[in-house]
Chain A
């Protein structure tokens, strides 16, 4: 019986699992998808998705959590636990205490025990019914005695790391890695994750053989050139990607691709890598094997949304050394003298603004997915990404700083700047993009005729155009859509709205509760999801608001300030704890940053 794992896809080929499976008489597969392993099974018990199921967990010692279903099961499925219970009951008709139990009642009983052991503590102050109600509301029952390093529920096996041997048989060492988006590939059929552009390479919809620039020139390899590489006895073909900053002797490939039975989206995307692992003293070794490569003359274009890798001496992502920051924090950003032909806009009610701290941002891209799910942003696929048809409202620009052999990497989350003097607003012939009284640059979809002039005139290039109709999602995929946000028609422009629907719903909530609206209640989707709390959003009219304080900060600057767009999204420059910046002084025009890649 197999549940919750997909060994036919993920286990090393040398294990011979496929052959072994064929010899088995009965394989029962419990899972949510008809994946590679399920296809080998003769009995499949389709189970609930975790969002449809009950469960519990102990995240840390003493931190108990209850998992509740958030949706009625979409299909006729049964939870794995219910399956186990009913099979057990069938097996031993005599009922060993399990008769008549469902997974829910079993779980409730278990929490009755927890309740009786911890009666009186925090949530367990009243009777069980009250406790059960409260735990369902809160989700967490904390009876830990304080946090310490070894209080994890399970131990990490450090010994596993020490057994990796360094290879000497070849010039190159093979490394396989998980990408931030796809991880092990179990969720590869989610198109959001496939289209998620890798924080470093910024490529989506493929895995590729990463080589360092030096190795690429030594082996005479070009971006996208297909190579055959051999690990152990297995040969595989992948396009090359030249990755600045990579070790010269390492060839790296992401795992999680090359699914054959994940579904419409993931099947055939990239090449499976996990089966290359060798088995060594009961461990799977995924990295460190010797690898040899052979060039071919084929090319596979890689969908890279980063147009150019270097800032070309422009003031885009500003960095400072710690020393420089301590000495003269106000001298780091080159501030421009600005003469304006525009009147200053007065905002009588609220003035929404956002500040992003480049010091905190790690470029993980969680905000981009949060935005995608919040705002019904479609994915377009590799073919259209290659044509420059990405739809993301929030994206993270990545630049290299300094020598391509060993560059620093900087990130800049980019969304609509909601400029006070918005270049897009003046050029729209039908006034479909206008300034709201609260400082938000609003896009009126049903007024837009799609001249795309606004996008041309946007210096930040954050506007996205519906090149095709992306609205006809088949059931049940339509359930992925957020009902609060309009689905956009073919031929109209769209872009970040500062989550204006969230502002509206908080205002409605305030009216319903007959109280004053609090600007600080509003959190944008990107802000909410940012694990580093790099994004601050709020009302600029309130001098006490967090964002007002951020804007007063010495590190705060506007991107392309010299254009006098007066953006409402501003950045706080990055301070590096190093003696020198790899790119040199910022407003000096660094000569090193010329050798970037052009798409």
Chain B
């Protein structure tokens, strides 16, 4: 009889699991954590200053111009929204498919989703000329007529898609947290801790009825989130695909964007997990090399889907017979932005091919570097789509160039400060691995797991 690889390594009892996971929340963090947090905070503060300067002075501070009306803000928005997708995929789709290996990474992947969507959500607001009026994009009864939004505009679909996504992700994440929050509450020795976690755990008692309801809600939410994995990035891709601009106007965009989003999302999960595993060695028992390998397999396969889309775009451009379309794609690969295109192709298609080798898939430094490349590559994918299509369109007299300014770079770098600030706060205030979900997947016979001690 072939035994499955155990999902949790080390000689763990149920109590060990609780102790291990709660330790991060219950112990006061050390100096290195605060240094990291302050660094992230500093970048976040810098980000706020950059955004304030742009809002107070005007969009002209950034590189966007005529003809390149969308630039860094939209590129980075799509980038962050894409990052979020792995979280939903892990928490919802893998849950429905009963993929037990998802249990130990689901919590942090979902947290990543929530923070990535929050980071992303700021960009479309801030890229508008008058962000203080961005609420006009919401359809609500008003005293201006009433004046409604234009339901034909993909940007409106985007508002619905992203806000639904943010809501469902947060609810899903929070519902999953409830049993664990109750555990922390029950272990709390400090009155304030007890009160705060007590309120957050919504009166969880751990009764059979509680569990019954919890699991029902969790499954329903998983079912609700599943279409979102596909719909959100499809709709984000409509922002481009519905326009008639050569290079944007392609039907392949929805699946291509979804694959790219999962690809980049898993890239980010791997990056974060490698960091967490190094910083908190205890996590190596829960987020094992097998987990990492599984994610690397997904990265490689989605990377190839994205590569297929790149190839398909060129084929369709040739096959369509539209000279504008053909020019747009030749210009992408060999025009003035060739470097962006080839960074994209190298990072997204060529480099992940290394994951064909088992050694690379299980090598932490290698996967860390590759996952960073994936993140860079996916940022550039959005850059290539947005900028190279806009900078040379139908009438050659209008052609122009896009140059990033200090404020563009500030917005991109600063958004990482925002994301990491939230993520670092989360990792020490909420259980980073779902205790309630990990415990059921503990090997019952526990023979295999006993032999492996990664810490030794």
Q: Are B130 and A489 in contact (CB under 8 A)?
A: yes
Pairwise interchain contact A429-B133, C-beta atoms closer than 8 A: no
Known: A456-B245, A459-B394. A490 touches B58 (CB 8 A): yes
Interface flags, B365-403, vs A, CB<8A=1, else 0: 000000000000000000000000010111111111101
A429 & B149 in contact (Cβ 8 Å cutoff): yes
Q: How large is the interface on B (under 10, 10 to 19, 20 to 34, 35 or more residues)?
A: 35 or more
Chain A contacts of B60 at CB under 8 A?
384, 387, 389, 467-468
C-alpha gap A65/B218 in the complex (Å):
89
Question: CB of B152 within 8 A of chain A?
Answer: yes
B243 close to A423 (CB less than 8 A): yes
Secondary structure call for the A interface:
loop
Q: Could you say which of A429, A461, A598 contacts B153, with CB atoms under 8 Å apart?
A: A429
Q: Does A311 contact B (CB under 8 A)?
A: yes
B440 at the interface (CB under 8 A from A): no
Could you tell me if B129 and A449 are in contact, using CB atoms closer than 8 angstroms? yes
The stretch of A33-41, A114-122, A312-320, A571-579 that contacts the partner chain: A312-320
Which of A398, A430, A461, A493 is within 8 Å of B67, CB to CB?
A461
Q: Once the chains bind, are B130 and A456 in contact (CB under 8 Å)?
A: no
Contact bitstring A446-467, B, C-beta under 8 A = 1, else 0: 0111111101110111011111
Quick one: closest A residue to B58, CB to CB?
A468
The listed residue (B129, B244, B327) touching A459 by CB distance below 8 A is B244
Best-buried of B68, B130, B244, B395 by chain A (most CB within 10 Å) = B395
Beyond A430-B136, A448-B130, A465-B59, whether A423 also contacts B396 by CB under 8 A is no
B239's closest neighbor in chain A, by CB? Answer: A453
**Contact flag A429-B396 (CB < 8 Å), given A450-B129, A459-B244, A467-B59:** no
Cβ contact within 8 Å between B244 and A308 = no
Cβ-closest chain A residue relative to B394 = A459
**Which B420-449 residues have a C-beta within 8 angstroms of A?**
none
The verdict on A73 contacting chain B, using a C-beta distance below 8 Å, is no
Do residues B396 and A399 form an inter-chain contact, with CB atoms below 8 A?
yes
**Chain B residues in 8 Å Cβ range of A414:** 395, 397
How far is A135 from B420 in the complex, measured between Cα atoms in Å?
A: 78
Distance A314 CA – B325 CA, assembled complex (angstroms): 12
Q: In the assembly, what is the distance between CA of A78 and CA of B162, in Å?
A: 67
Nearest CB of A to B125, in Å: 9
Contact of A427 among B68, B155, B323, B396 (CB under 8 A): B155
Tell me the interface secondary structure of chain B in the complex. loop
Closest A residue by C-beta to B244: A423
Q: Mark A411-444, 1 if CB is under 8 A from B, else 0.
A: 0101000000001001111110000000000000
Contact A456 B390 (CB under 8 A): yes
Among A431, A453, A468, contact of B57 (Cβ-Cβ < 8 Å): A468
Inter-subunit contact B155/A308 (CB<8 Å): no
Q: Is B339 an interface residue (CB 8 A)?
A: no
Report the separation of the CA atoms of residues A412 and B392 in the bound assembly, to the nearest whole angstrom.
Answer: 18
Q: Are B127 and A451 in contact (CB under 8 A)?
A: yes
- Cβ of B210 < 8 Å from any Cβ of A? no
B128 touches A449 (CB 8 A): yes
Contact A307-B155, Cβ < 8 Å, known A449-B129, A491-B59: no
Task: Report yes or no: A447 in contact with B128, Cβ–Cβ below 8 A.
Answer: no
Q: How far apart sit A431 and B139, CA to CA, in the bound complex (Å)? A: 12
A563 within 8 A of B: yes
B399 touching A598 by the CB < 8 A rule? yes
A206 at interface (Cβ–Cβ under 8 A)? no
Answer whether residue A126 sits at the interface, using C-beta atoms and an 8 A cutoff. Answer: no
Are B129 and A491 interface neighbours, CB within 8 A?
A: yes
Whether A491 touches B128, Cβ cut-off 8 Å, given contacts A428-B153, A465-B66, is yes
A599 at the interface (CB under 8 A from B): yes
Interface residue? A360 (CB, 8 A): no
Residue of A nearest to B65 (CB): A388
Instruction: For residue A248, give the distance in angstroms from its CB to the closest CB of chain B.
Output: 26
Instruction: Tell me how far the C-beta of B353 lies from the nearest C-beta in chain A, rounded to whole angstroms.
Output: 34
Residue of A nearest to B64 (CB): A452
Number of residue pairs A-B, CB distance < 8 angstroms: 174
Q: Which residues of the other chain, B, contact A399 by a CB distance below 8 angstroms?
A: 396-397
- Smallest CB–CB gap between A147 and chain B, Å? 40
Q: How large is the interface on A (under 10, 10 to 19, 20 to 34, 35 or more residues)?
A: 35 or more
Return chain A residues, CB-CB under 8 Å to B156: 429
B242 interfacial by beta-carbon distance below 8 Å: yes
The residue of chain B having its C-beta at the shortest distance from the C-beta of A396 within the complex is B397
Q: Which residues of A are found within 8 Å of B164, using beta-carbon distances?
A: none
Residue B203 at the chain A interface, CB threshold 8 Å: no
Cross-chain contact of B136 among A449, A459, A460 (Cβ < 8 A)? A449
Interface residue? A80 (CB, 8 A) = no
Chain B residues near A99 (CB-CB < 8 A): none
Give every chain B residue within 8 A of A463 (Cβ-Cβ). 66
Instruction: Check: B148 CB closer than 8 A to any chain A CB.
Output: yes
- C-alpha gap A431/B137 in the complex (Å): 10
Are B128 and A387 in contact, with the CB atoms below 8 A?
no
Are B394 and A560 in contact, CB atoms less than 8 angstroms apart?
yes
Q: Say yes or no: B395 contacts A459, CB within 8 Å.
A: yes
A493→B59 CA distance, assembly (Å): 12
Which residue of B has the minimal Cβ distance to A593?
Answer: B396
- Given contacts A453-B155, A491-B130, whether A430 and B394 have CB atoms under 8 Å apart is no
Contact A599 B401 (CB under 8 A): yes
CA A384 to CA B65, docked complex, whole Å: 9
The smallest beta-carbon distance between A400 and chain B, in angstroms, is 11
Partner of B395, one of A316, A389, A423, A465: A316
B70 is an interface residue with CB less than 8 A from chain A? yes
The chain A residue sitting closest to B324, CB to CB, is A314
Q: Bound state CA distance, A237 and B224, in angstroms?
A: 69
Taking CB atoms, residues of chain A closer than 8 Å to B65 are 387-389, 467
A457 touching B58 by the CB < 8 A rule? no
Query: What residue in chain B is nearest A451 (Cβ atoms)?
Result: B128
Q: Does B276 contact A (CB under 8 A)?
A: no
B398 and A307: CB pair below 8 A? yes
Which chain A residues border B245 with CB–CB below 8 Å? 456-457, 459
Asked if B150 CB lies within 8 Å of chain A CBs, one says yes
Q: In the assembled complex, which residues on chain B have CB atoms less than 8 Å from the CB atom of A356?
A: none
Decide yes or no whether B454 CB sits under 8 A from chain A.
no
Least Cβ–Cβ distance between B337 and chain A, in angstroms: 12
Asked if B154 is at the interface (CB within 8 A of a chain A CB), the reply is yes
Known: A426-B152, A452-B64. A398 touches B244 (CB 8 A): no
Cβ contacts under 8 Å, A452 to chain B: 64, 69-70, 127, 129
Asked if A223 is at the interface (CB within 8 A of a chain B CB), the reply is no
> Cα distance A589–B324 when bound, in Å?
13
Q: Which of B267-320 contact A (CB under 8 A)?
A: none
Residue A397 lies at the interface, judged by CB distance under 8 Å to chain B:
yes
- Give the residues in chain B near A273, CB-CB below 8 Å: none
B148 contact set on A, CB distance < 8 A: 431
Which chain B residues border A312 with CB–CB below 8 Å?
327, 396
A453 to B127, CA, bound (A): 11
In the docked arrangement, what's the CA distance between A312 and B324, Å?
10
Report the bound CA distance from A428 to B137 in whole Å: 10
Residues of A within 8 A of B (CB): 306-314, 316, 384, 387-390, 397-399, 412, 414, 423, 426-431, 447-453, 455-457, 459-461, 463-469, 489-493, 559-560, 563, 589, 596, 598-599
Beyond the given pairs A429-B153, A452-B70, 11 more chain A to chain B contacts, judged by CB atoms under 8 angstroms and listed by A's residue number, are: A312-B396, A388-B68, A397-B395, A427-B152, A427-B242, A431-B150, A449-B129, A453-B239, A467-B59, A490-B130, A599-B401
Q: List 28 A-B contacts (CB under 8 A).
A: A307-B67, A308-B396, A311-B396, A384-B60, A387-B60, A389-B60, A397-B398, A398-B397, A399-B397, A423-B244, A426-B150, A427-B152, A427-B154, A428-B153, A448-B129, A450-B129, A451-B155, A453-B70, A457-B244, A465-B129, A466-B129, A489-B130, A491-B59, A491-B130, A493-B129, A560-B395, A563-B244, A599-B400
